[in-house]
Amino acid sequence: MERVQELAIIRRAYAKQILAAAQIDDPSLELAFAQVRREDFLGPGPWVIPYGQNNYRTLGASDHGLLWLDRSL
């Protein structure tokens, strides 16, 4: 599978998770979340992400798939 396709699947899964957590069933909103390419807004990794309250963690890789992990769920 190409990386572009893999990231599209990851984005779709993220959209489903976010809407499920918010108890929203709206296919157009899911599609909007799935189409936003978060990876386009960041430079190369590793990235620093929020982790817990008032803490941050450095992701040890530059895998764009890691950007789609929602740490608040």
- List all residues 6 or more positions away from 44 whose beta carbon is below 8 Å from its beta carbon: 62
Return the percentage of the chain with pLDDT > 90, whole number. 33
Greater model confidence, 66 or 19? 19
pLDDT of residue 51: 76
Q: Is the pLDDT of residue 73 over 70?
A: no
Predicted confidence (pLDDT) at residue 28 exceeds the cutoff of 70: yes
Q: Domain ranges in the chain?
A: 3-68
The string of pLDDT tens digits covering residues 30-58 is: 999 999 888 788 777 788 877 778 888 88
Q: What pLDDT was estimated at residue 12?
A: 93
